[in-house]
Amino acid sequence: MNRFLYFVKKESLHILRDTRTILVVIGIPIVLTLLFGFAISTDVNNVNVAVCAPHKTVSIIETVESLQHNTLFTFKGYIPQNEIDATLRSGKAGAVLVFDEDYDRILAGTAGSGEKAVQIVLDGSNPTVSASAGVYLSAILNSIWGDSSQMDMIENHILYNPQMKSSYNFVPGILGLIFILVCAMMTSVSIVREKEMGTMEVLLVSPVKPIWIIIAKMIPYFVLSCINLASILLLAKFALGVPMTGSMAAIILISVIYIILALGFGLLVSTIAKKQVVALLISGMVLMLPIMMFSGMLFPTENLPVILRPFTYIVPARWYIDAIRKLMIEGLAFKGVLLEIGILTAMTISILRVALAKFNDRLE
Amino acid sequence: MISVRNLTKQFGDFKAVDNISFDVAKGEIFGFLGANGAGKTTAIRILCGLSKATSGSGTIAGCDIMSQSEEIKKNIGYMCQKFSLYEDLTVLENMELYGGIYGLTAKEIAARSEAMLKELDFGEHRNDLVGSIPTGWRQKLAFTVANLHRPKVIFLDEPTGGVDPLTRRQFWAMIRRTASEGTTVFVTTHYMDEAEHCDRVSVMVDGKIMALDTPSALIEKYGASSMDEVFRSIARNAVRNE
Amino acid sequence: MGVLRSLIIKEIRQFRRNPFMPKLVVMFPIAIVLVMPWITTMDVKDVSVGIVDYDGSDVSHKIISRIDASEYLELNSIYQDYPSALEDMEDGRVDAILEIPDGFGRSILSKPEKLSVWSNGVNSLKGSLGSQYLMQTVMQCLKDIRSSKGLQIPEGLIETTNLYNPTMDYKHFMIPALMIMLLVMIGGFLPALNLVSEKELGTIEQINVTPVNRFVFTLSKLIPFWIICFIDLGLCMTLALLVYGLPVAGSVWAIFLAAALFIIVMSSVGVMIANLSDTMQQTMFIMLFVVLSFILISGLMTPVESMPEWAQKVTWFLPPTYIIKIFRIVYLKGASVAELWTDYAALAGFAVLFCILAAMTYKKRG
């Protein structure tokens, strides 16, 4: 046991001496959480709107004014008819409101029927932004025109995330990503590095059992991951205000299972790869990319084409992120995530078994 | 060929190389001895232009070591302590690479590498990956590659580390042949029996050169029976000895 | 130049012998074009709707069949009561719930009871847009019912036109931007890793004692990757045309010019980080950190306009912002280099800046 502690110490020293990597590893989750929390958002919160009006009548000016009060839109000024295309093309505005020459008469109902009062020209290159802009612009115009009677008929409620903050969604995703990064990527690279340098041989001939050497390697990364878990949870709670009404014990339990799983992946990759670059690329391509893509961190999984959907079931991060989302945002109790815990435990056990079997194979 | 005066390399308070001076003549085999940590590698790195001296002066093949390191590099060959040919290139490909780097034409490269492979009796392995050939051969190959562009001076840093006695003898035969063709050989080693192959040796202790003469003169001076004994009596007072 | 040639031949030989790299540079563009666009979609489609029908009248049946027929909405099921619908929402089976109160059908012509919509805010984009779609659909339906019963309803006064992406396909929006990932990976990551691996293996020592200039040496590492980058970019563009029918609306050369400038930026960043690191682990993590934050904040995945003012200002200082903008605008809207000259100038400025920074980090002699 004493020898084992020496190994743990050696590994910890390796990591602690490399201040730059430490800073990055501790910094990444914090920066990501803050970025997602305060800077970027997948929602459409703002659309730049330009207005084209041949005659600036009082009613048009009033309409534009009330548009300016709406937080969803930023008014970018009046433009002449011949600049509509250039304005949208260069991305200066995402939508142009084109008022008809006969705007006042059409509204008053004195123009011929079938005339449109306003044309909304949208930059359709981003379909989500243009769809939202179209829907909201029409709704606003309708309410300005006093056609609000129908809107009143429906009461709209938003459950679970009433401020509609997308940052809530990212927190579980960041957790899922970071643990793979720290545990799988860093451990696999550090094991392969020792193989490459030949120092692994030296360790393996020592009287300590090979498996303990590997475990010793993993302990510092496990500790780093726990620090990351704590920092993300604290940030989520106090900086982002994520409710976290669910079971904290369950969050920690399932995170630990997932961290062990990620360590298992790291070991597995290290038995396959002979070169550090290969270890990096395998963990990057096979582990990180699917997490970013399939786990619903950035892109909702329900948008996936049907053929790819079954694929998400074998990505452990998906189960982990689902569970964390339920616990953190929806506030479910422990029993609400039993399925996820079960699946992750099963995955962890099988990954560890395969990794250990491969590891022992290599030794013989 | 090599002339060094008062060369010092300081890392903070630590003087890795402390005020050394020596001269090496053309075609001479100069042994640069010292225990691990005595400063041999630091000195050799300065001479090769990999590291800059803190103070002192010197010339190699007529070029100043402080200001003309790029000029020096054209005239020297270097064999690193750690094997550093590309393991994922074949024997011939490594030769083509280094030949090309020193500006040899394709024809020259082809002719020289053929000749050298023949001399090494290694022709049939020319298309083997360097990573797959045994250590003894690798060292001989690394020496050959370092010598490919016919440098005026060739630096060998612990060339025979981890090599069996037979290969070591062959290796020294190669060194002597190269020196007899007029190339200056600057070699570090800590095998004292090898030191007796050198024309002159210097013994470095704690960054300083404590002795410099022909091996036989040193043996006589210290009343010893071999270079090994000479070395032990000089290095006895070493402070830095890892 | 003979030296550079020898070094490049060496790189190509090592590359070909690597068990992984050749496969990577072939698979990567294919994955980028064939798989990624399907995943990186933010389309709000198939909003799953649950209906709690306490009314059970003619009117509520009309609403239900209208929702069923809607393009964006997908009728999941009809519930007896609100709690059972809520349970399904908790499990993620339902995105929005519409509750039709008892007596709604009878009251529609007079003063109607209120309908309720609940949407799941966990996926906030889907929640907000989905509930808007649902409300619009229901309102249109009510309007039709009322006008058919003789009530006077004004005509629709708004006409909406979408330019540039006629099929409204989100994939078309993402494909040009995803190609940038390729430039980052092959132009930035791989040369940096390659450089630092020579450092770690010690082979760089042997090169350092030769008269080879460090610039030439670095260039020999970059040039093969630049060539691969351009080939892969061409491959991506061809695949995008063949598979998705997505041509470059502007000039292909405008794309390649921007790509060339950006590759110089990424390569310099990679070389700089490799120069400053000793191990591959360090290089990888710093690179990953830099690139991940760059890309996330520059609008590759999320709309820049939706970010707070300060964050939008930050994007001005990040090179990916400009290339993402150029790629999308040239690709989808067909703008010319002249129209986007400020963005090209910014990229060129970054290229020069990072080249200088990369050159400054060289250490010739320790």
The pLDDT value recorded for residue C233 is 92
**According to the 3-state scheme, what is the secondary structure of chain A?**
CHHHHHHHHHHHHHHHHCHHHHHHHHHHHHHHHHHHHHHCCCCCCCEEEEEECCCCCHHHHHHHHHHHHCCCEEEEEECCHHHHHHHHHCCCCCEEEEECCCHHHHHHCCCCCCCCCEEEEEECCCHHHHHHHHHHHHHHHHHHCCCCCCHHHEEEEEECCCCCCCHHHHHHHHHHHHHHHHHHHHHHHHHHHHHHHCHHHHHHCCCCCHHHHHHHHHHHHHHHHHHHHHHHHHHHHHHCCCCCCCCHHHHHHHHHHHHHHHHHHHHHHHHHCCCHHHHHHHHHHHHHHHHHHHCCCCCCHHHCCCCCHHHHHCCHHHHHHHHHHHHHCCCCCHHHHHHHHHHHHHHHHHHHHHHHHHHHHHHC
Provide the number of structural domains found in chain C.
2
User: Is residue C35 a part of any domain in this protein?
Assistant: no
**A61 and A35: one domain?**
no
All structural domains of chain B: 2-84+152-235 (3.40.50.300)
**A155 and A198: one domain?**
no
What six digits make up the tokens of C226?
A: 């630049």
Contact B78 C14 (CB under 8 A): no
Residue C30 confidence (pLDDT) above 50? yes
Mutant choice from C206, C207, C362 vs B, greatest count of B C-beta within 10 A = C206
How does DSSP classify residue B130?
A: G
**A235 and A313: one domain?**
yes
Contact C306 A45 (CB under 8 A): yes
Q: Which residue has the higher pLDDT, C120 or B205?
A: B205
**A210 and A278: one domain?**
yes
Closest by Cβ to B84, choosing from C7, C17, C202 = C202
Residue A195: pLDDT band (50, 70, 90) is: confident
**C195 and C139: one domain?**
no
CATH number at A148 reads 3.40.1710.10
User: Is residue C2 a part of any domain in this protein?
Assistant: no
**C71 and C122: one domain?**
yes
| Mean pLDDT for chain B overall | 86
Give the residue numbers spanning the domain of C314. Answer: 170-361
**C184 and C279: one domain?**
yes
Residue C348: pLDDT band (50, 70, 90) is: very high
Query: In the listed set A159, A189, A214, which residue is the last one of a domain according to the structure?
Result: A159
Q: How many percent of chain A have pLDDT more than 70? A: 85
Q: Which has the minimum average pLDDT: A143-147, B48-52, C300-304? A: A143-147
Residue C160: pLDDT band (50, 70, 90) is: low
**C158 and C184: one domain?**
no
What six digits make up the tokens of A223?
A: 């500790």
Separation in Å, CA of B106 to nearest CA in chain C:
10
Q: Model confidence over A238-282: pLDDT tens digits?
A: 887 777 777 888 889 999 999 999 999 888 888 888 888 788 888
Q: Is B73 on the interface with C (CB under 8 A)?
A: yes
Separation in Å, CA of B132 to nearest CA in chain C:
14
**A265 and A302: one domain?**
yes
Give the residue numbers spanning the domain of A52. Answer: 47-159
**C187 and C150: one domain?**
no
**C193 and C139: one domain?**
no
Query: In the listed set A102, A125, A159, which residue is the last one of a domain according to the structure?
Result: A159
Q: Model confidence over A1-50: pLDDT tens digits?
A: 566 777 778 777 777 777 777 887 888 888 888 887 777 776 677 888 88
Closest by Cβ to B50, choosing from C3, C5, C208 = C208
ipTM at complex level: 0.78
The pLDDT value recorded for residue A259 is 92
Provide the number of structural domains found in chain A.
2
Query: In C, which residues are within 8 Å of A27 by CB distance?
Result: 289
The pLDDT value recorded for residue B28 is 92
Query: In the listed set A142, A159, A176, which residue is the last one of a domain according to the structure?
Result: A159
**A111 and A202: one domain?**
no
Q: Is B159 on the interface with C (CB under 8 A)?
A: no
Contact C125 A43 (CB under 8 A): yes
Residue C51 burial by Cβ neighbours in a 10 Å radius (0-12, 13-18, 19+): buried
Separation in Å, CA of C109 to nearest CA in chain A:
12
Q: Is C68 on the interface with A (CB under 8 A)?
A: no
**C220 and C353: one domain?**
yes
Separation in Å, CA of C107 to nearest CA in chain A:
12
Contact C10 B86 (CB under 8 A): yes
Separation in Å, CA of A157 to nearest CA in chain C:
5
**C207 and C127: one domain?**
no
Task: Count interface pairs B-C at CB distance under 8 A.
Answer: 79
**A150 and A127: one domain?**
yes
Residue C153 confidence (pLDDT) above 60? no
**A57 and A202: one domain?**
no
Residue B242 confidence (pLDDT) above 50? no
**A155 and A253: one domain?**
no
CATH number at C56 reads 3.40.1710.10
Rounded Cα distance between A122 and C332, Å, is 14
The pLDDT value recorded for residue A159 is 57
Contact B85 C2 (CB under 8 A): no
Separation in Å, CA of A292 to nearest CA in chain C:
9
The pLDDT value recorded for residue A346 is 93
Mutant choice from A24, A240, A288 vs C, greatest count of C C-beta within 10 A = A24
User: Is residue C10 a part of any domain in this protein?
Assistant: no
**C107 and C196: one domain?**
no
**A203 and A119: one domain?**
no
**C284 and C185: one domain?**
yes
Closest by Cβ to C139, choosing from A116, A150, A196 = A150
Residue A148: pLDDT band (50, 70, 90) is: very low
Contact B102 C206 (CB under 8 A): no
User: Is residue C32 a part of any domain in this protein?
Assistant: no
Query: In the listed set C163, C194, C220, which residue is the last one of a domain according to the structure?
Result: C163
The pLDDT value recorded for residue A142 is 73
Contact A160 C142 (CB under 8 A): no
